[in-house]
Amino acid sequence: MTLMATTGSLRASAVLTAFFGLTLPLMPVQALLLRVSDKAARRFPHWYHRQVCRLLGVRLSIEGTVAKGAPVLLICNHTSWLDIPVLSALAPVSFVAKLEVGGWPFVSALARLQRSVFVDRTRRLAAGDAANEITKRLRQGDTIVLFAEGTSSDGNRVLPFKTSLFGAVAGATMPAADQVVVQTAAVVYTHIHGVPVTRAERPRLGWYGDMEMTSHAWGVLKSGSITVTIKVSPPVPLAEFKDRKDLALKSERAVRRDVLAILRGRSDSDLVPVEPSEEARRAKLMVPVRKSEKWT
């Protein structure tokens, strides 16, 4: 084993030990807060994940802010399990997660403590229950994170957004829609040890396909310090969107634009390629977004 590999393994072991040393004592604290204070139960995971990011060596470079004092649907691209602590460190949030996450050892406990909403995409009735829960949370003023691609990518592309995932919150079907605002967050892992991540290296941080989580997490922990850049769009009232397809199309366009903007300082060969949405492919046309326009 080389010196670099040995150093990386030692670092990963130290980070993992510190993570469990922080997390295990705090899990019953959050469980208690869920019973006694909704406000504290929202904010405590935000503080906790900021500490987790420090332990992992993840540095956040943030442009924009998540709106306060209003229910927010935060629509994001999805690259890695790292997105969870990163976005939780950005603001007090809860996630919409696939049902399978609820069955993962330990991870499921953390997800439930953060009040995640689990969606069974194979059953319509279950999806309806999840939609009701999302609606309820937004009415309570929560910030709900939706990974609109429906899965994670290798970090070199933004996958088409799935319009079905927007059904719970789109248009006039959502009670008090005039109070809900929509924001997008483009999340890009840009540097390792201060060195720009190239297109070939980016999948090292992405967790996608049939990758095994334990080995991938170990590799990330061995890598060293990571810089993630997050660009948050200005809030737009949910009521301004005609329906779920309109919301999906415009938010997808905004995320693609902002992902490219984060990487624009690099050579053209390092820019993230984009894939047109389902609607755009059918129309065979992508409408360009002018700099003077709002994110929609």
Domains of the chain with CATH codes: 3-283 (3.40.1130)
- Mean pLDDT, residues 205-225: 81
Per-residue pLDDT band at 212 (split at 50, 70, 90): confident
pLDDT for res 218: 85
Among candidates 160, 165, 104, which has minimal Cα distance to 279?
A: 160
The whole-angstrom separation of Cα 62 and Cα 238 is 23
Percent of the chain scored above 70 by pLDDT?
80
Place of tokens 């009521």: 239
Per-residue pLDDT band at 30 (split at 50, 70, 90): very high
Per-residue pLDDT band at 270 (split at 50, 70, 90): very low
pLDDT for res 235: 95
Mean per-residue pLDDT over the chain, rounded? 82
Higher pLDDT, 296 or 250: 250
Q: Which residues contact 141 (CB under 8 A, 6 or more apart)?
A: 69, 70, 71
Instruction: List C-alpha distances in Å: 225 to 13, 231, 258, 267.
Output: 15, 20, 23, 23
> Are the CB atoms for 192 and 201 separated by under 8 Å?
yes
**The pLDDT of residue 292 is above 50:** no
**The pLDDT of residue 238 is above 70:** yes
Write the pLDDT tens digit of every residue in 164-184: 778 766 543 454 556 889 999
Among candidates 262, 227, 249, which has minimal Cα distance to 295?
A: 249
Q: Which residues contact 184 (CB under 8 A, 6 or more apart)?
A: 74, 75, 76, 232, 233, 251, 254, 255, 258, 295
pLDDT for res 282: 44
- Mean pLDDT, residues 146-157: 83
Lowest mean pLDDT among 23-37, 45-59, 86-100, 128-142: 128-142
Write the pLDDT tens digit of every residue in 94-147: 998 887 787 788 889 999 999 998 887 666 545 556 677 888 888 888 999 999
Percent of the chain scored above 90 by pLDDT?
44
Q: For the purposes of burial, counting CB atoms within 10 Å of the CB of 87, is it exposed (0-12), middle (13-18) or buried (19 or more)?
A: buried
pLDDT for res 265: 57
